[in-house]
Amino acid sequence: VHIDAGSAFSCDKPSENSCAAESSAPEYRIVVVGGGPLCTYAVGQLAALLPSSPPPCPVRIDIVDRSGCPGAGEVHSDRQAPTSYLNRVAGQIALAADESAEPPVKLLPRRLRPTFLEWCREQYAITGDPDYDLAPEDVPKRHVHGRALRDVFERVVEHIRAVPGVSAVVHVGEAVDLEPSGPDGTFVLHKNGGEPLRAHDVLFVTGHSTNRPAPGSAEESLSRYAERTPGAHWIGTPYPLAEQLDERVSPPGSTVILRGLGLSALDVMLHLTEGRGGRFVPDETVGEHGLRYVRSGREPESIVGTSPSGAPVWGRPVNHKVADPEAEHRGVFFTVEAVRQLRSRFGHTRASGGRRPLDFAEHLLPLVVLEMAYVYYATSLGPVRAAELRAGLVASHEAFLRGESEWGTAAADRLTALATQEARRAGHRGAAFDWRTALDPASPEEAGPDRDWHALVRGRLAADFARCREGNVRNPVKAAADGVWRDLRAVFSEAVDDGGLVARSHRDFDTRILRWYNRLSNGPGLEPSAKLLALVDAGLIDLAVGPEPRIEPLGDGTPGFQVVGRHTGVSRRGTTVVEARAYPFDPWLDSGPLYRNLLLRGLVRQWRNSGGDPPDYMPGALDLDASYHAVRRDGTVEPRMVFLGAPAEGLRVFQLTAARPHANSAVLNNAARWAEEVVARMYRAGAPLRSEPGMGREPDEEREPKP
Ligand SMILES: Cc1cc2nc3c(=O)[nH]c(=O)nc-3n(C[C@H](O)[C@H](O)[C@H](O)COP(=O)(O)OP(=O)(O)OC[C@H]3O[C@@H](n4cnc5c(N)ncnc54)[C@H](O)[C@@H]3O)c2cc1C
């Protein structure tokens, strides 16, 4: 579906395409702040609900998005660089709620809710564009996801506009403030241009933002230095890549220092190479990754990759679970039930709220490690002998849950040794599972002045690539990482969400353990991983600095920066530093004023983990009730203000993600619950005597073939 540059959804110009039905009856006003995937899911659910029975009063929906790509948003914008990939496979991307929702939700007509893969097939049939020619296991480009999101968004907004008395207006602009009440008890949302908007209900889905450097931080001193030093560049966010990283700040022949070695870093690496005209050509002589990089001559001379770990995130294996969802791992030892038992027996009793928080490293890491060991051995043993292995471990697991053995790393060592012993008894003959290496495939402890860290990481990346090719069901190392850290995310949520950990442990979880999650199960797919190796082999990516780097401006009067590896002693100089990472949600440091104003007005407050011994921990998240309603400064709940995604991250885990189809997606369910609440409120406000529309699953209203 072509999106007309002049339409209400154009990226290029602001739109106030109001088709509000003129009516003297008071309008019910709904505002959505943020136009990314969560907005598309939420507006899609309004579009599923509203047509089923005519609204009792005129309804107006305003969507405010500053990216200029409403429906897709900044991260998944259809203007993202053509070299940037998603980190999930095409077969695991939803664009709207589906029949798997529990409890069932009202669904859009089938033609309005294709999965991403169905949408791509539709587009490929129409256009023949190879971008859309994707198999379920392929990892798509982000801008293609953006096109799909925008198209579905456009379709659902049109669907809403077709309902008599309902209008939808898309604004390109930034929401900067919300006043608690307008003349008739509504909110008033202020934008950085145009008329303020009245709102009975406001949904905030503002996603990732950029933070201002924290006072006294390394980022602050680097940015200040760059501001006063011509020729030195500090780039706070690399997005949009084409604007932030053009040849002015990273000219051919320059050295660019990246702070971060995750997915944003890979976006930058590919943009500065392939995006500058370089090519990847097939070459079987280079190793399993099979790609050789051919320079264009416009690349930087060197891209120095640095991060606390000193190693890029590990690749995501070929996903054989798309074709066979039954292959998803269901926990055996690290289970919701096990977490609940530990909590009731050993949770901290001095915590407020009755949640009895645990200590992740002490109580739960041993179970995570045991589960990984089990999946590792079970993968090579096969199902029959895996059952023997499981049976051999039950007694030790139960003893651990009763607290009859040690906690923490001692328990992790003991349970792993037992798993190895039982696996040998069941016939395992390969390498033993080593939990430390499994969590940290290139540990900082291996770095030193006599060790070539670049070569070490290059070797581990190549070995990792070979495992990725075997896939997340067949390769024991990858099966253990994927089966525990991805498939058991609900168990992690049970452990961590809503103050599930004592404050000290929660901080440790956010700063150390979530890094394992990102490195083990959230990395790039096969194709971008192969490209990374090709760039390393071409001498363009330099990983020699190693773990725990220190960075500072050059002290010799030349414009630029120097980065030094704390363990390796290796130093590199460059004129440009790029913060290649996503910022955590921080309402006080956010580059926009919206959240600061909400805090100052007392409309929201930050969530505080005060479980266990002081000090408390404040991860940044807002205080929200179980349905993501705002908790005001005075502790009262405001159901008309709902925050999904980034502002909830830290209070709950895994909030920042695109939705998965046919998987009872929590992200889609949250959007659906919001839409149901809003429509119910609208009926109460507008027509107390008229019955509310049915919320249960109903047959699709339309079943005609897709266009
Ligand atoms: C670089 C990067 C890559 C990622 N890759 C993946 C991936 O491959 N797969 C995956 O599942 N997840 C990925 N994520 C996680 C990502 O957060 C989610 O996939 C998803 O984008 C979250 O959707 P959202 O709608 O909450 O936020 P976003 O997609 O961030 O959209 C929010 C929108 O709100 C706008 N906005 C913010 N503040 C205001 C304001 N005050 N006024 C008006 N508009 C505002 C923003 O400009 C943006 O357009 C990635 C994140 C980043 C940062």
CA–CA gap between residue 351 and residue 656 (Å, rounded): 28
Neighbouring residues of 536: CB distance < 8 A, sequence distance ≥ 6: 458, 461, 543
The answer to whether the CB of 594 is under 6 A from ligand 1 is yes
Those residues whose C-beta lies under 8 Å from the C-beta of residue 503, and which sit 6 or more positions away, are 609, 610, 611, 612, 613, 614, 615, 616, 617
Kindly provide the b/e burial profile for residues 495-530, where b requires at least 16 CB atoms within 10 angstroms of the residue's own CB.
bbbbbbbbbbbbbbbbeebbbbbbbbbbbbbbbbbb
Mean pLDDT, 10 residues at a time, over the chain (707 residues)? Answer: 29 34 68 98 97 85 96 95 95 97 96 97 96 95 97 97 95 96 82 94 95 95 96 96 95 97 97 98 96 98 97 96 93 98 91 81 98 98 96 98 96 98 96 96 93 97 97 97 97 97 97 94 96 98 98 93 98 97 95 97 96 92 98 97 98 95 96 97 67 36 31
Whether residue 51 has a cis bond before it, omega within 30° of 0: no
Q: At how many degrees (to 10) do helices 526-537 and 263-273 cross? A: 60
* Predicted local confidence at residue 555, as pLDDT: 86
In terms of Cβ atoms closer than 10 Å to its own Cβ (0-12, 13-18, 19+), residue 216 is exposed
The whole-angstrom separation of Cα 607 and Cα 626 is: 13
Tokens of 298: 């416009």
Pocket of ligand 1 contains residue 380 by CB under 6 Å: no
Query: How many angstroms does the Cα of residue 75 sit away from the middle of ligand 1?
Result: 5
Cβ 89 under 6 angstroms from ligand 1: no
SS3 241: helix
Q: How far is CA 207 from the centre of its chain?
A: 9
| Alpha-carbon span 295 to 284, nearest angstrom | 18
Q: Is 464 in the pocket of ligand 1 (CB under 6 A)?
A: no
CB 125 within 8 A of CB 42: no
pLDDT score, position 5: 27
Question: What kind and span of H or E run contains 155?
Answer: helix 142-161
Q: Give the DSSP per-residue string, 637-657.
A: EEEEEEE-SGGGBTTBSS-S-
Q: So what's the pLDDT on residue 13? A: 32
Nearest CA to ligand 1 atom 44: 65
**Amino acid, res. 292:** R
pLDDT at site 183: 62
State whether the beta carbon of 263 lies less than 6 angstroms from ligand 1.
yes
- How far does the chain reach from its first CA to its final CA, in angstroms? 10
Identify which of 565, 566, 563 has the alpha carbon closest to the alpha carbon of residue 574: 563
d(CA 209, CA 207): 6
**CB proximity list for 367: less than 8 A, separation 6 or greater:** 333, 334, 338, 397, 400, 415
- Predicted TM-score (pTM) of the model is 0.93
Determine the length of the chain. Answer: 707
The CA distance from 505 to 664, in Å, is 30
In whole angstroms, give the CA distance from residue 678 to residue 49.
10
Beta strand extents in 145-254 (DSSP E only): 166-172, 175-179, 187-191, 197-199, 201-204, 233-235
Q: Over the stretch 71-84, which tens digit does the pLDDT of each residue have?
A: 999 999 999 999 99
Q: Which atom of ligand 1 is nearest to the CA of 656?
A: 17
Ligand 1 center to 142 CA (angstroms)? 12
What is the Cα–Cα distance from 108 to 44, expressed in whole angstroms?
Answer: 7
At residue 414, the pLDDT reads 97
Looking at residue 197, its pLDDT comes to 96
Q: Does the beta carbon of 486 sit less than 6 angstroms from any atom of ligand 1? A: no
For residue 61, CA distances in Å to 34, 46, 165, 202, 586 come to 13, 10, 11, 10, 28
The residue whose CA is least distant from atom 34 of ligand 1 is: 34
Phi, psi angle pair for 185, to nearest 5°: 80, 5
State the Cα–Cα distance between residues 407 and 412, nearest whole angstrom: 8
Nearest CA among 226, 227, 173, 181 for reference residue 202: 181
Residue 422 alpha carbon to ligand 1 centre in Å: 45
- Integer angstrom CA distances of residue 25 from 28, 55, 186, 542: 9, 12, 16, 65
Atom index in ligand 1 nearest the CA of residue 37 equals 25
Q: How far apart are CA 661 and CA 593, in angstroms?
A: 35
**Which of 39, 75, 205, 665 to mutate to test ligand 1, by most ligand atoms within 8 A of the CB atom?**
75
Question: How far is ligand 1, taken at its centre, from the CA of residue 73, in Å?
Answer: 6
Residue showing tokens 């198999």: 135
Of 168, 145, 148, 166, the closest CA to residue 157 belongs to 168
Closest Cα partner for 582 from 317, 210, 93, 311?
210
